[in-house]
Chain A
Amino acid sequence: MVTILFELALTFYFAAAIVSVMELFRGTKTTSRFVLTFAVIGFLIHTANIIARYVIAGHIPITNLHEASSFFSWCIVLLFFFLEYRYRLGLLGSFIMPVVFILMLSSSMLPRKIEPLSPVLQSYWLGIHTVLAFLGDAAFAMAFGIGIMYLLQEHYVKSKRLGGLFQRLPSLQILDEINYKLITLGFPLLTLAIITGALWAESAWGSYWRWDPKETWSLITWFIYALVLHARLTAGWRGKRAAILSIIGFAAVLFTFFGVNLLLKGLHAFK
């Protein structure tokens, strides 16, 4: 049952991603409505899947890489709906739904077994720490998509060739503003995730910080986004620079999430 829900959600996200990419080549009102409809159906099924896992496991289902990746996608889709509702940016889905699909696909390839929680993880910090971290990461994922849109649109305007997606992409200003807002949303969430993580580490392992790879990489990510905000406020690093930095930042997020778990061993590595 849990598996079927997951596969169904994956299928609908796949449909949304395919239509959203098609939209880049030939977009009408109907195609964007399809993207949204598929994403909404996928999201509802996905929500049911997460609730089902919660009920079966008895704790928040973010305890292995499959669950984490799935929850990460869920947060991104949630944020996508919010932005779509608030700003109605043309083509946003085309730059976000493929990311969601890839995350879900990698989640689908990871072991899904629900296993009993090891004693160290049994704490209310589990829910707080992970949810904060993934909401923050979702904001960064969104900033990544928006950053790519910005670079594309900026390329059209700067090179004075106004073909392609120029007409359908939003204005540079709105893209830059939303990018900034997303980072100001993601940054405090990441900060809180790091703080709650430290507190949890203290209660579970007896020390706040141990320089395990996940911690180190979270700190690197934190510094990148701190730089984005600082440079913007002091030196006016907006627009193109902010967009490029938000793409680099998201690469760090992905590495912290996948790279550390798969390549480096540490306390955070899921079993």
Chain B
Amino acid sequence: MKVLIVGLNHKTADIDIREKLSFNGLKLEDGMIKFKGLPEVEEAMILSTCNRVELYANVSDAEKASMSIKGFLSRFHNIDMAVLDNVLYIYDDVAAIRHVFRVASSLDSMVVGEPQILGQLKEAFEFALEKKTTGLLLNKLMKKAISVAKRVRTETRIAENAVSISFAAVELARKIFTDLSEKSFMLLGAGEMAELAARHLMNNGVKEVIVANRTYERACELANEFNGRPVKFDEFPQEMVHTDIVICSTGAPRYVLMKDQMQKVMKERKQKPVFIIDISVPRNIDPKINQLENVYLYDIDDLQGIVDANMLERHKEAEKAERIIEEEVETFLKWQSSLDSVPTIVALRDKAEEIKKEELENLINKLPELGERERKAI
């Protein structure tokens, strides 16, 4: 009774191999049944996401079982064994338990700490439960992995800070304004990154969207897409009087908004705070604007700086998480070994019962003069 994992992830395999080996849609059920059908495998479960494919099993002989699972993968996905050897990792027993806990806690993720993987693992587990391919060992392992992941999330700050530029922008907006749904937002120009950040803000619900672009048609197009209102580019400073958040990325080679212009805008809006995100390179907003009261200007480097600092923080927290995981691996191993001793205990108890019976019979045979009452008492 041992946990065995055969798998690959974004570190060991390119996207095209991961695609070929993935168990998506109908393939999952078919794959699980065939996987469970392998003679060396007692329990089976498959986790398949864009970044990883992992097969979990309860086996007695890890070596034999891993060969058989590899063979199964090769046949199922029609991939050469030699290719598989290059990308697959195999963990058994303690290493496997640790690996599952690390995956669930998002320590093995592409972006450490991102929580999606836990949801995906839960789903995979639920599917396995539904198809009844798991049993005592894997059920306990998965339940434990989920609780370990929760413990890591509450006891460390691994998932606390934003680690992408658009997340960082939204997080900042939330610390400047209370409720984004009553704020209006302007998209000035349109680069890919600006659109991404805009989309992110929109997902958090803003009251009104204004789109300004050098070419008015493009502004109309984008306004359509974002369900907003297009304005002529020259009018944007006037629009800023009632705009709370601005994302700017125009591709202009110079500043399109200067400090004295902004000063006028602030006066007109009675100093209500403005959050400006200038994603353009070269910058489009005069950096001196940040000196104005109630104006918060962030450029791409500022945001990247925050992301880097947060990433560093996450890696520090990940070390704490690793310690938690070591602890939990220990407890799991204890549980597992107590399980191993169950048959021994049962055997011992049976043996004791047998001896008792024998001895009693001997005793009764030795004392034939005892009456029915005395025998019962004994």
Binding site for B on A (CB under 8 A): 153, 156-158, 160, 162-163, 166-167, 169-174, 177, 235-241
Contact = CB atoms under 8 A, between A and B. Distances in A.
B175 A241 contact: no
Contact of A171 (B175, B290, B305): B175
B272 interface: yes
Contact of A238 (B172, B271, B302, B310): B271
Contacts of B302: 160
Given A158-B290, A162-B309, A171 B298 contact: no
B86 interface: no
A192 B273 CA distance: 33
Interface in B128-166: 160-161
27 contacts: A157-B172, A157-B176, A157-B296, A158-B290, A160-B302, A160-B305, A160-B306, A162-B306, A166-B175, A167-B160, A169-B175, A170-B178, A171-B175, A171-B177, A171-B178, A172-B176, A173-B178, A174-B178, A235-B271, A236-B267, A236-B270, A236-B272, A238-B270, A239-B271, A239-B294, A240-B294, A241-B293
B273 A239 contact: yes
Nearest to A240: B293
B174 interface: yes
A235 B267 CA distance: 8
Contacts of B176: 157, 171-173
Interface string B159-201: 0110000000000101111100000000000000000000000
Given A162-B161, A162-B309, A172-B177, 6 more contacts: A158-B290, A170-B178, A172-B273, A236-B270, A238-B271, A238-B272
Closest 9 A-B residue pairs measured CB to CB? A236-B271, A236-B270, A174-B178, A173-B178, A171-B178, A173-B177, A160-B302, A171-B175, A239-B294
Contacts of A162: 161, 172, 306, 309-310
Nearest to B162: A162
Nearest to B179: A173
Interface string B313-347: 00000000000000000000000000000000000
Contacts of B309: 162-163
B151 to A, nearest CB: 14
Listed residue (A170, A172, A235, A239) with the most chain B CB atoms within 10 angstroms of its CB: A172
A158 B175 contact: no
Contacts of B296: 157-158
A81 B327 CA distance: 40
Contact of A173 (B161, B270, B273): B273
A177 B178 CA distance: 10
A241 B178 CA distance: 19
Contacts of A160: 298, 302, 305-306
B211 to A, nearest CB: 24
A171 B176 CA distance: 5
A146 B210 CA distance: 33
B173 to A, nearest CB: 9
Contacts of B174: 171
A162 B172 CA distance: 9
Nearest to B301: A160
Nearest to B270: A236
Contacts of A241: 293
Nearest to A160: B302
A105 B308 CA distance: 45
Contacts of B310: 162
B175 A238 contact: no
Interface in B267-310: 267, 269-273, 290, 293-294, 296, 298, 302, 305-306, 309-310
A241 B292 CA distance: 13
Contacts of A174: 178
Contacts of B270: 236, 238
A172 B271 CA distance: 13
Contacts of A240: 293-294
